[in-house]
Structure 1
């Protein structure tokens, strides 16, 4: 791993915004699906996924989902159930309720919380299939009270056998009732605009490749989206007491996701920097996905040596990483200084995969430095809020002149007269 000056390194990668050719391709796919419906959806599925389907085959049947249980290990079912339980318990604590505030003059103000009606969940299936992403998208939506949750996933995540059975089992355990075998930009367009087979949704969530990300950006406005998710990132903040083998393993846990993933060590120790670099070189050779991990380390991996932990935290706050591990003595001592990170893992035994799979917090986290202003997926992503205003006659008579003053200051006489006509009727 290369050692770089702190001021020169950034997690932002312009390539995440797509090339002109990629953007043009996505725009064409989205428009075709918007105007042609199933015909375009099936055409692009055959062209891009090399799977020929009839419209009647788009929806995955209950029988297929139940058959998937015979293709997975019982231990996997137990593990996915335990993870689902933890995720549900964590997200239950995020639930909001409507509120109302009644004043003595009869004024009532409030906020009404309602779930979205229909949400689309994208589950990727490119370099790997991710059953855990099913849980992380579906369960918060369920906790929020969304009545209709539809899932889409590429038709050959399991190779020639079709959809990966582990994804199907995860969907069943999460409670998904509506699932379609379609992926890529064409799936995003179908969710946004609807086709003869797939009804449109109000919001689209879930990570995907660059074409999925660009398609989500293209349809935003017609529907809401969770984020423009980029390649995974991890920053490990370590002192000289951290175990170099732990640090290296955690860096590689993200590097193996994608050639564009970023794995960064920020450390106060030059000897630790060298020890971790050596460990990364040793461990990457043992990984089944070593070519991906090595490309990630070579292109987007780095080691930043700082003088103090506080200086290291300044670097972290500037990078605003998706995942931050704090592997120093007394990590709680520094928690209050950390401002920008999607998920924070404290201590040597809080390895990033703990959060990916089992702990309960959502693993769909802002990337590309957007943790400066955005948050992990949670229950709030699946609700909408309506303001409630009830003014009594007494309240309007007391405050009408103030309202008219403000309206006329902005040159909106119609606004002022809407109040004035009421005051005149009441003899004011």
Structure 2
């Protein structure tokens, strides 16, 4: 299934069969459920994999698939409804015994309640959209007098982007690490984790570099974080692939941030260190079969990194840069994987996410993985009319002493930007 904007993409070109579902505007194509269901009917599809964007966490879409006799490859609609509501998920996980940051009990009624909660937990705090995700619909507030304006602006943004203006609030942790755990659960009460990923290199709360295993975790902390994710999944009877996202404080304490009921953009990192095809496992679970994996079967090896090559200008606060690709030659070689839809002659439009390619490498240890990733990025050949990419900036991050020594936090990119401006 593809929109007008994607009709000439490499993905469509390689497909055995494709169906045009509407114009470039996502609300009239990828978000237009009747068109998706009709495309499935035309092709005789028995199942739909929603990918990791658009309707991948939409409970209405999952329910409509079920009504039409189509298997939705993901959790049941009712689970998505509960965990997609970030405030409700926070409450459920607290009841299950997972650590959560101090904050509001459910959605806030207005800026007055937000201020009362902020006074109680102490600044800085972060406002989050209840229906948010992908790093959008958030605002960090460092002083109480900033809260009314931040509340109004974040609520308006949430209403526009997610169609749901509800917000909740929790304490914000400075100098934190972002750790996430990949979990697989079948419909027979079994669950395993596939280890953790460190996603601390971010801009605007959106990830740029991911790696596994997390370089800052002790074996004891790794075991505790992964066990918490499995505990949370079993507590709600989860079915499918899920990602439990945690914030790791400088003190070594960790807290649940949110749960993503879908495949993650960075899932290849986990696949590289475990040798487990996560999409294949999703299909097996969706078919109603029990997990073929036991926890002792999951034996991560080596280190994997993923760098997101985006059509953005880091010098202008990562502003997207649409344009025509005149040259696009990705790197190759042993233990290098590149997932992309781009090719020379492809127009990178403004309609969707600016991601051009995911570059993933594996090596026996972190030093070799960093060297291999830097080499892979150096081999990229990307040029185009008006295009800028994040390749050069990613190499700067790889060379940064804080990143190389695994002392970096979620504030690294912002700190690099301040030094560049200064």
Normalised to the residue count of structure 1, the TM-score between the two structures is: 0.28
Bigger proportion of residues as helix = 1
Structure showing greater radius of gyration is 1
Which of structures 1 and 2 has the larger relative contact order (alpha carbons within 8 angstroms, sep 6+)?
1
